[in-house]
Structure 1
Amino acid sequence: MTTFIAYCRVSTDKQGRSGLGLEAQQAAIQTHLRPGDVLLQPPYVEVESGKRADRPQLQAAIARCRRTGATLLIAKLDRLARNVAFIANLMDGGVEFEAVDFPKANRLTVHILAAVAEHEAKMISERTKAALAAAKRRGTKLGGDRGYRPTAAPSSEDAAKATAVRQRKADHAAFGVLPVLEQLQAEGVTSLNALAKRLNEMGLATPRGKRTKAAAVAAQWTATAVKRTLARVA
């Protein structure tokens, strides 16, 4: 028997007031419970505006878990697993947790996902700074369309350098996602299509650097992309 405290989240104030999405999360929580489990009331509901990172409801839920010895039950982990600030709060809280949409998640799993996200953010920042510095050295005026149009095709040397950069980027991404693939395979997710689906649900970037966004946007991971990634690190 496990005692749980539920943590849900909705993305806007309007959604929070209307209950849109919240009922589905609460229903999923009830389905997740096993015979004999206890769910303490009330649940903690975070209304995320996109402008705050402190997550006061998460802090309150963690504090109550510490007081009662309960396990934090996260209704919707998905892309939060790649949010470094969220993972830091969760780890610093020192409480056990379960995720309804990622039942096999553990401290190691979320640490890996957060580390991958942090690494990708650092790489993007470094590439952006390097590109801006190179543009300034060439005398390019930055900021808006100033009428510049390319007058010649890139040289073969430039093309080779660009190819090498893309390959290095793909290698970094492949090795970054490998621990997640291994974790999913250990959980019994073995088909390429199933692996691609889970990676998209988790919001992981593909080796080409494309990240899954809202549900309305087509998923970037495919069975072929998973196969190529596994082959790259083999």
Structure 2
Amino acid sequence: MPWCASQIEGATGRFLLQQMVAVAELEAGMISRRTKDALAAAKRRKVKLGGWRGTIPTARTRAKAVAAIEARAAARAADLAPTIASIQAAGATSLRAIAAALNEQGIPTARDAGVWSATQVARVLERLPQ
């Protein structure tokens, strides 16, 4: 039988509730101790964790990063162009149909993190020359 709030009646219910709270507090304390120990060990190994790194990217650096990302995306779109063209030639005209075909062929997404969606196909097609 699942636990519910109506079972916390009387002395026995209050006792059980207090025990559950005590166990939760104990676990929170143990998590805190493990975290502090791990951070201390990382500090001893001279690992930098979080916070300020001492640099602010300049506009030129950001522009280079954006250019590199766009170049990588354009190259990926160019690689996919023949595959998408053959899918379209086979009769798939909608973005969803193209995405389904890419998924069926096992072609990974750009980040290899999932399945193709209509939005991803649209973004690839936007990068292709018309």
With normalisation by structure 1, the TM-score equals 0.32
Q: Does 1:201 align with 2:104?
A: yes
Letter in 2 for 1:187: A
Match of 2:23 in 1: none
Q: Which of 118, 121, 129 is equivalent to 1:226?
A: 121
Alignment of 1:166-205 (within 5 A): 166-205=69-108
Residues 145/173 of structure 1: CA separation in 2 closer, same or farther (3 Å cut): farther
Q: Does 1:146 align with 2:51?
A: no
Letter in 2 for 1:193: R
Residue 148 of structure 1: CA displacement?
5.6
Q: Give runs of ≥4 in structure 1 deviating > 3 Å.
A: none
Residue 229 of structure 1: CA displacement?
1.4
Q: Distance in 2 between matches of 1:145 and 1:184?
A: 53
Taking every aligned residue pair, what percent have the same amino acid on both sides? 34
Greater share of residues in helix: 2
Given that residues 192 and 227 in structure 1 are in contact (C-alpha distance below 8 angstroms), is that contact kept between their aligned partners in structure 2? yes
Q: Distance in 2 between matches of 1:205 and 1:154?
A: 32
Letter in 2 for 1:147: K
Greater share of residues in strand: 1
1:77-120 superposed Cα distances (whole Å, 9 cap, x missing partner) = xxxxxxxxxxxxxxxxxxxxxxxxxxxxxxxxxxxxxxxxxxxx
- Which SS does the other structure have where 1:193 is aligned? helix
Q: Which runs of 5+ in 2 are unaligned?
A: 1-44
Q: Distance in 2 between matches of 1:204 and 1:195?
A: 11
With normalisation by structure 2, the TM-score equals 0.55
Residue 145 of structure 1: CA displacement?
7.9
Q: Name the count of aligned residue pairs.
A: 83
Q: Distance in 2 between matches of 1:145 and 1:211?
A: 33
Match of 2:66 in 1: 163
Cα RMSD after superposing both structures: 2.3
Given that residues 203 and 211 in structure 1 are in contact (C-alpha distance below 8 angstroms), is that contact kept between their aligned partners in structure 2? no
Residues 158/183 of structure 1: CA separation in 2 closer, same or farther (3 Å cut): same
- Higher-Rg structure is 2
Match of 1:99 in 2: none
